[in-house]
Structure 1
Amino acid sequence: MSLTDRTVVVTGGTGGIGKEIARALAGLGARVIVTGRDPHRAATVVDELRVGTGNPAVDAVCADITRQRDLRALARAVTDRCGSLYALVNNAGVNPARRELTEDGVETAFAGNVLAPYLLTRLLLPALERTRRDGGGVARVVNTAGGVPRGRLDPDNLQAEKAFSGWVTDTQYNRSKLAMMAMTRTLAERVDAAGVAVVVAYPGHAHTEMNRSLPLGAYPRLLRPVVPLLKPLMPVLWGDAAAPARNAVRLVGATDAEARAAHAHYLGLRGRFAPWPAATDDPLVRERIWRMCERLTTATGPA
């Protein structure tokens, strides 16, 4: 597959799985824009990817995805630079140890894992739709899942208003990733699949910097006593980030026909379509999440 002259944005592309997604796409000839919070780190990664892939068309835009003003500035920068956009990979994730609010008054995990892909996609949708109009084929939005995609979604606890962490898999990170999947199902219903394919990809686990630095408070309560014993095994159990990057790379590099077939689907491990988690099946819950995203982002400007 060749992605020459195709522009792709990868959020969280300065480390972990996002960096490996960006590396693979740059190797296929794409013009890649990575995002990250640290300007020095972003510049270092850009140099590394340019040299390592032989592709000079790798750039960075710094943004904190939990801040809506940064997301709006990011969307403006991408639109100004590129005009049209072939693919948006919403890969960046946030896994805080406790309930904290962003400057927008939103719980941090919900802000980074749900609102960020919602708002950035809506802001960049005109650029994505322009790809089709300009004869560039079907654009793609790939939202990266994570954690353990099971459990339930309580519409009254989406921002950990009642509880932040449960006993087994019920953590705010897992809940927010499930909420992202529910939001994405609604998004897929609302866009024109002929022009933009919207997909969720589950990467699996990797021994990334985020996972290495997770404090105990980010783990389910039942696991916390054994986490210190498990951490030395994680590099072996989880491995590096190259394999988990493959699902997103596969979707970005898919043919138009394959992208249309993947629209509104969930790509599980080994690149196979999987059933959506049961927690995302209730249309009323999906509508509640969508309306919350609308309300929380409208306050800071139009989407």
Structure 2
Amino acid sequence: MKNIVITGGTSGIGLALARHCRDRGDNVLVVAPDPVKGARFIEEAEEKGAGKRVFFVQADLSLVSENKRVLKEIADTFTAVDALVLCARFFRSYRRVTDEGIEHNLALYYLSRYLLSHGLVEPLHKAGPGVVLNLAGPGISEGRIHWDDLELERGYNGWDAMFQGGKLNDLLGVTWAAAHGDRRARYVLQFPGGTRTGLAGEFDPETAAQVEQMKRGAGKSAEESIVPLVDVIDDPPAEPLTALWEDRPIPLDPRVYDGDAAARLHRLTEEILSRR
């Protein structure tokens, strides 16, 4: 029996994984913003006699304060965490700033993953070995990091924001593994493959058409896409940092997984957080 934490765990791949882990006997805590979906997940578990092993935390993970509250609720629920699975993401065609003054995509897709993965280091080490499983499309060549404008105040584009978020998460994996990889927990960046559940978000008409086309072209169901994720949860890699495309290893190209760039991002991240 494992203790599994899944962000974005009430829809898509996150929900499919939460159901799978619940049904095989794991303890599962899902974090998501919609209380109706959360209640439905709990009701499903109760109908299956698994109500005591399933937990729902309602939270807006685009807010730093909410991530800190979630960390406390996880600590109150689990003393050890076998897997932290980071699925929460929301595409925005139009720039939005959170109530804390941070661009939404940066806050949800990167800062939340930064806060949760660093914040759960000790419970992950206690699991022996625990694993952070970050679903962020590792190693993608599209886009770039806007070092002088991480919050994309100048010329925001939804795809730029998403691709930058993927690259920031690549570097997050580098700094996390460098800081904690000499102990028991592991960090895995993994793309589960094209999935018919599509991409959650608020889209302009052109992007909506693109997303619908991507969804129609995807070959796998969410249940099929979680197979390589379950393999990682059950048998974490030996290396501190691993990147996978479905179940295939991706070389950690130093031009992408650059230690100096990762350290620079870490400093900028701490500056952003210190101002809030």
| TM-score using structure 1 length | 0.81
The question of whether the paired residues in 2 share the 8 Å contact of 1:150 and 1:278 is answered with: no
Give, in whole Å, the separation in 1 of the partners of 2:63 and 2:252.
Answer: 29
Give CA deviations for 1:252-280 in whole Å, capped at 9, x if unaligned. Answer: 111xxxx24243010112x0111247763
2:130 maps to amino acid? A
Q: Does 1:263 align with 2:258?
A: no
Structure 2: where are the runs of 5+ without partners? none
**Which residue of the other structure, out of 77, 80, 83, is the alignment partner of 1:81?**
77
**Which residue of the other structure, out of 216, 232, 237, is the alignment partner of 1:235?**
216
Give, in whole Å, the separation in 1 of the partners of 2:210 and 2:75.
Answer: 47
Per the alignment, residue 220 of structure 1 pairs with none
Question: Deviation of residue 214 (structure 1)?
Answer: 4.5
Per the alignment, residue 55 of structure 1 pairs with 50
Question: Deviation of residue 194 (structure 1)?
Answer: 3.3
Question: Deviation of residue 294 (structure 1)?
Answer: 1.7
Give, in whole Å, the separation in 1 of the partners of 2:210 and 2:263.
Answer: 41
Give, in whole Å, the separation in 1 of the partners of 2:151 and 2:237.
Answer: 33
Q: Does 1:195 align with 2:184?
A: yes
**Which residue of the other structure, out of 208, 231, 237, is the alignment partner of 1:250?**
231
How many residues are treated as equivalent by the alignment? 274
Per the alignment, residue 260 of structure 2 pairs with 284
Per the alignment, residue 134 of structure 1 pairs with none
| Residues 60 and 277 of structure 1: CA distance in aligned 2, closer, same or farther (over 3 Å) | farther
| Residues 55 and 185 of structure 1: CA distance in aligned 2, closer, same or farther (over 3 Å) | same
Q: Does 1:150 align with 2:141?
A: yes
The question of whether the paired residues in 2 share the 8 Å contact of 1:121 and 1:141 is answered with: yes
Give, in whole Å, the separation in 1 of the partners of 2:255 and 2:153.
Answer: 18
2:26 maps to amino acid? A
Give, in whole Å, the separation in 2 of the partners of 1:85 and 1:46.
Answer: 20
Give, in whole Å, the separation in 2 of the partners of 1:108 and 1:230.
Answer: 20
Per the alignment, residue 61 of structure 2 pairs with 65
Per the alignment, residue 221 of structure 1 pairs with none
Per the alignment, residue 141 of structure 1 pairs with 132
Give, in whole Å, the separation in 1 of the partners of 2:67 and 2:13.
Answer: 20
- State the SS of the aligned residue for 1:292: helix
2:150 maps to amino acid? L
1:1-303 mapped onto 2 (5 Å cutoff): 4=1, 6-49=2-45, 51=47, 55-56=50-51, 57-131=53-127, 137-146=128-137, 149-151=140-142, 152-165=144-157, 171-208=160-197, 210-211=199-200, 214-216=202-204, 224=206, 228=209, 231=212, 234-254=215-235, 259-269=236-246, 271-276=247-252, 280-300=256-276
Question: Deviation of residue 299 (structure 1)?
Answer: 4.0
Question: Deviation of residue 210 (structure 1)?
Answer: 3.8
The question of whether the paired residues in 2 share the 8 Å contact of 1:11 and 1:18 is answered with: yes
| Residues 246 and 162 of structure 1: CA distance in aligned 2, closer, same or farther (over 3 Å) | farther
Give, in whole Å, the separation in 1 of the partners of 2:219 and 2:269.
Answer: 32
| Residues 277 and 31 of structure 1: CA distance in aligned 2, closer, same or farther (over 3 Å) | same
Structure 1: where are the runs of 5+ without partners? 132-136, 218-223
Give, in whole Å, the separation in 2 of the partners of 1:157 and 1:76.
Answer: 31
- State the SS of the aligned residue for 2:132: strand
| Residues 281 and 236 of structure 1: CA distance in aligned 2, closer, same or farther (over 3 Å) | closer
- RMSD between superposed Cα atoms in Å: 2.6
| Residues 127 and 233 of structure 1: CA distance in aligned 2, closer, same or farther (over 3 Å) | closer
2:78 maps to amino acid? C
Give, in whole Å, the separation in 2 of the partners of 1:230 and 1:42.
Answer: 25
Question: Deviation of residue 191 (structure 1)?
Answer: 0.3
